[in-house]
Amino acid sequence: MSTMPETINDISGAIQLALGPVFLLTGIAGMLNVMSGRLSRIIDRGRALMENPVVIATYDPAGMHTEMNMLERRRHITSIAITMCTVAALMVCLVIVSLFLEVMFTIPLNWFIGALFILATLSLVIGLSYFLREVHLSSISVRIKR
């Protein structure tokens, strides 16, 4: 039979174990903030092109079509990046919950927690890879004249 101080120590240990995933969650939230800001700028640029097509088309009609296609591609890639990073954040939350469930109900969840953490990390890697791709597409589409 477990005594009260042992239970408190177990919960205290679970809180300490959960600190790492909580910091990871904070980092993912920061990345999601950056990604959603980029998505907003992509959408705003697309709306500006659609609202003033005559003004922009007089400069370069073919260029406007090319830019709209590039914006759509960037929007799609950014949406995937946001989705994958959100999935990673949700899995990290499940890791934290699982740590506490393991302690509170003395259920061995080591494999489950490990698998969740691996999946969260892979989702984050995929999301960051898509984000990097979008950044490269963005830099390709900008032409700075000297």
Question: Region 93-110: what's the mean pLDDT?
Answer: 92
Structural domain of 25: 4-141
Would 137 be classed as within a structural domain?
yes
At position 144, the amino acid (one-letter code) is I
For the chain, the residue count is 146
At position 48, the amino acid (one-letter code) is A
Share of the chain above pLDDT 70, in %: 86
Centroid of chain to Cα 56: 33
Residue 29 has pLDDT above 80, yes or no: yes
Residue 73 has pLDDT above 90, yes or no: yes
Mean pLDDT is lowest, of 6-15, 17-26, 36-45, 104-113, for 6-15
What CA–CA distances, in Å, run from 81 to 18, 89, 110? 25, 12, 29
State the total domains in the chain.
1
Predicted pLDDT of residue 56: 60
Residue 137 has pLDDT above 60, yes or no: yes
Nearest to 115 by CA among 137, 92, 132, 138: 92
Most confident of 81-95, 103-117, 131-145: 81-95
Would 128 be classed as within a structural domain?
yes
- For residues 91 and 119, the answer to whether their CB atoms sit within 8 Å is yes
Would 146 be classed as within a structural domain?
no
Residue 50 has pLDDT above 50, yes or no: yes
Any idea of the CA torsion for 141, 71, 73, 129, to the nearest 10 degrees? 60
Residue with the bigger pLDDT between 56 and 142: it is 142
First-to-last C-alpha distance (Å) of the chain: 77
Would 124 be classed as within a structural domain?
yes
Predicted pLDDT of residue 5: 46
- For residues 8 and 55, the answer to whether their CB atoms sit within 8 Å is no
